[in-house]
Amino acid sequence: MVGQNQRKTFLKAMLYMLPALVIIALFVVWPMFHTLRMSFYEDFNIFNKTGEGFGLSSYIWVLQDPTFHKALLNTFIYAIVTVPVSIMIALAIAILLNSGIRGSKFFQTAYFLPYVTNAIAIGLAFRFIFHSEFGVFNKFLAIFGIDAINWLTDPDWAMPTLCIFGVWSALAFKIVIFLAGLQGIDPQLYQAARIDEAGKWKMFTSITLPQLGPIMAYQFVIATINAFKAYNEVVGLFGDDGPLHSAITMVYYMYDKFYNANKYTIAAASGVIMFLIIMVFTFIQLGMSNRKADQ
């Protein structure tokens, strides 16, 4: 009887999960499997779903492609710069907003606006801001006597520009998450710390930071994944992959190989490589934060 009941419960549960399972299978699992299959062919016809030359040739091609090396390097630079910088700035702003300054409700909304705004639209706005001749940014730098910088047209400046933009556009979401985290800290801990003669900095290091631990780990994992997937930011800002492909990222490379070059197997192989990289990094980060939580 127990077994029958269990089977009944299981079938009922399956029925509830079916819609989600179908959608996930159709739009996530099948494309993943399909991409994996495609990546092992030398050539693939996407119309009759047949490939030629089964093997690792596409992987070898991708790994030897200097443009892919450039995309890989750029993506790593982008992640290493924007993840910690945006987290630090977001935390500072969140703490400021949480301290109950005048008009904090207004600022909370203002800081969240970029998150609900289209990345391409924001990119277009930043094109004006970064414009070498008429941009606000250069006008601002001119006040300090700094010569105009060709943010968008100089290949050497493309990555710094992208990073600045990336930090800015990643702030909104992080601020909201940090604010939620800060509001979850028991205010009595700060009162206790005050009585225990802890100064502002001491309170930050010995209450705020440790209490935000799990949220900080979450932010790092999500931000790193998002940084590795950077594409909207590039296209929004430059319209393409920057002057002389100077701001090409892994996802842009993948997109370019698929839609522009029609090299489907190359795109698929680079996608699989990217998937593996993100997976490894996420496991490392989760492992690190779990070990810390255990201590």
Partner 1 sequence: MDIRLEGLTKTFTGKDKVETIAVNDLTVTIPGGHLVGLLGPSGCGKSTTLFMLAGLHEPTRGRIWFGDEDVTDLPPEKRGIGLVFQNYALYPHMTVYDNIAFPLRNSRSFREKHKDGKERHEAIDQIVQQTAKIVAIEELLARKPSQLSGGQQQRVAIARAIAKQPRVLLLDEPLSNLDARLRIQTREEIRRIQQATGITTVFVTHDQEEAMSITDEIIVMKDGVVQQVDHPQETYIHPANVFVARFLGNPPINMIDASVKDGQVMINGCPAIAADLPDGQYKVGIRPESFILSDDGFTADILTKATIGRDFQVRFDMNGRYSEALIESDKSIEEGDKVHFRLRRSGVHIFDLDEKRIAQW
Residues of this chain that bind partner 1 (CB under 8 A): 186, 188-189, 191-199, 202, 206-207, 210-211, 213
Q: Which is nearer to partner 1, 26 or 192 (CB)?
A: 192
Least Å distance between CB 190 and partner 1?
Answer: 9
Least Å distance between CB 131 and partner 1?
Answer: 47
Q: SS3 breakdown of the chain: % helix, strand, coil, rounded to 5?
A: 80, 5, 20
Least Å distance between CB 207 and partner 1?
Answer: 7
Contact of 263 with 257, CB cutoff 8 Å? yes
Least Å distance between CB 288 and partner 1?
Answer: 17
- What contacts 239, CB < 8 A, 6 or more positions away? none
Q: Which is nearer to partner 1, 155 or 199 (CB)?
A: 199
Q: State the residue for tokens 């604010």.
A: 179
Q: Which is nearer to partner 1, 85 or 198 (CB)?
A: 198
Measured from the Cβ of residue 23, the count of other Cβ atoms closer than 10 Å reads: 10
DSSP 62-121: HHH-HHHHHHHHHHHHHHHHHHHHHHHHHHHHHHHHHTT-TTHHHHHHHHHHHHHS-HHH
Q: Which is nearer to partner 1, 232 or 289 (CB)?
A: 289
Exposed (0-12), middle (13-18) or buried (19+): which is 237, by Cβ within 10 Å?
buried
Closest Cα partner for 285 from 219, 228, 226?
219
Contact of 265 with 41, CB cutoff 8 Å? yes
Q: Which is nearer to partner 1, 7 or 202 (CB)?
A: 202
Least Å distance between CB 186 and partner 1?
Answer: 6
Q: Which is nearer to partner 1, 212 or 273 (CB)?
A: 212
What does the alpha-carbon distance between residue 181 and residue 149 come to, in Å, rounded to a whole number? Answer: 39
Q: Which is nearer to partner 1, 108 or 211 (CB)?
A: 211
Q: What sign does the dihedral 266-267-272-276 (CA atoms) show?
A: positive
Least Å distance between CB 63 and partner 1?
Answer: 44
Q: Which is nearer to partner 1, 118 or 191 (CB)?
A: 191
What does the alpha-carbon distance between residue 254 and residue 71 come to, in Å, rounded to a whole number? Answer: 10
Least Å distance between CB 183 and partner 1?
Answer: 16
Least Å distance between CB 292 and partner 1?
Answer: 10
- What contacts 100, CB < 8 A, 6 or more positions away? none
